[in-house]
Amino acid sequence: MLRDFTSTATVVIFLFELAVLLRAMLRPLREPASRLAWLIAILVLPVVGTLAYLLLGEARVSERRRRRYAAIEARLPRPGGDPEAAQRLAQGPYAAPFALARSVNGLPPTLGNSARLASDSNAAIDEMVADIDAATGSVHLCFYIWLADTNGLKIKEALIRAAARGIKVRVLADALGSRQFVRSDHWRDLHRQGIDAREALPVGGIFWTLIRGRVDLRNHRKVLILDNRVAWCGSQNAADPEFRIKARFAPWVDVMTRWEGPVARHCQFLFAADWMAEKGDDITALLTPEPVGATVPAGIAAQVIGTGPLLAYPAMTACFAALIHSARSELVVTTPYFVPDEQLLYALISAAQRGVRTVLVLPRRNDSRIVAGASRSYYPALLAAGAEIHEFRPGLLHAKSMVIDHEVALIGSANLDRRSFELNFENNVLFADPVFASELRVRQNAFIAQSDRITREEVAGYGLLARLWQNFLAMLGPVL
């Protein structure tokens, strides 16, 4: 009897593993390297590999949430764009990235925008607080990480002041990234003051969360929209640069941009989709087109890109790659987490090989040893192609920016890693304006001035064990 039971269990386990293996092989839009990595993991470590695939192998969102997102996006009105902006961009050398960006969310380019860079992280928080204090209609905020430190509490108190003035305040904080804050009395204070504060992508019971979808699919967006006309977008969380939960990597060095004009309404579109997906009230009225003549067709041409695991393909990767391919003379990238897929890596290599000055600025000390090791595995190929790599010394360079030819730039929440490409909800602004792009380049130059340039000789001296470790971590990229 026991022998029969064991035989039956063995057959069941084999059939189950075979089904998972076939699923891994048949999943659409998966890189061959990723398929091969999962195939090896499942065959070599059948039990562990199978369980790992079920937990981490797919960007799974619960079917209920997927249907809810689809229904919301289908009925949300897209804010209008500017035909002059579309025509101007279509005739220029950067037509492809803007056309691709428009296909992601159906959001066209806009004109009539102005923008500025905050001087540093603390100044950005102070300016956001000032904007909240000046709001007259609505305040909408979404952060991945919100800490109960000086800057985090400045934001909290400003929101409470706004609610006391009768302003409608809506707040989203990622349930995992902001878990300490949403479990604290500060979160309850927001509710007591009449603020509608909700957790983005709530985790709930870990067991059922893993069954319904992946617990590490997160809302990584960082956006603040005020009165439907001002929007903040960039890399900064609601926290001090000292980032006390990981203080030994501090300071966190970020870039935040303040936008005024119709692009704010497009940021509102992303917030509305997230807000209503978390069962917030219907705010579609805020997305209706502005009256004719309400904007002046001048200023910065800007376009909003919102990506996430619900898209049919890794749109953020494609947008990054399209931008890189459009570069003619210079490409400068800052990112804390650099784990490219093949499309992005070869785009960077080809840019350097065709004579484009290709510059990567990464942190010397990374809060993730896995990411740091995987990042350095790509150094030899990039340096051999002629790219420049600089490692930022003072702290964790957390700014996510890309500037092309001092004319076009992308800034927002997305890193150059697979998590941002496939797993996280991200928000970015793509813009064309030589003045503002050059201003962002000045900030990038300040980062480079505080960095060490990595040489081919230095990389060659990493040592056998270091290179084995780095390449091993890079091999895990398609799996994680």
Instruction: Give the catalytic positions in this structure.
Output: 220, 222, 227, 398, 400, 405
CB 224 within 8 A of CB 140: yes
| Cα atoms in the Cβ-side hemisphere of radius 13 Å centred on 169 | 24
CB atoms within 10 A of CB 156: 22
CB 20 within 8 A of CB 50: yes
Rounded to whole angstroms, the Cα distance separating 441 from 447 reads 10
Residue 261 burial class via C-beta count within 10 angstroms: exposed 0-12, middle 13-18, buried 19 and up: buried
Q: How many residues does the chain have?
A: 480
The neighbouring-strand residues paired with 173 are 143, 199
User: No. of H helices and E strands in the chain?
Assistant: 20, 19
Rounded to whole angstroms, the Cα distance separating 430 from 16 reads 45
Distances (CA, A) of 425 to 135, 158, 264, 420, 467: 26, 26, 18, 7, 32
Closest by CA to 148, choosing from 255, 244, 247, is 244
Strand 338-339 to strand 388-392: parallel, antiparallel, or no bridges (unpaired)?
Answer: unpaired
Secondary structure (DSSP) of 59-102? ----HHHHHHHHHHHHHSPPPP--HHHHHHHHTSTTHHHHHHHH
CB 160 within 8 A of CB 195: yes
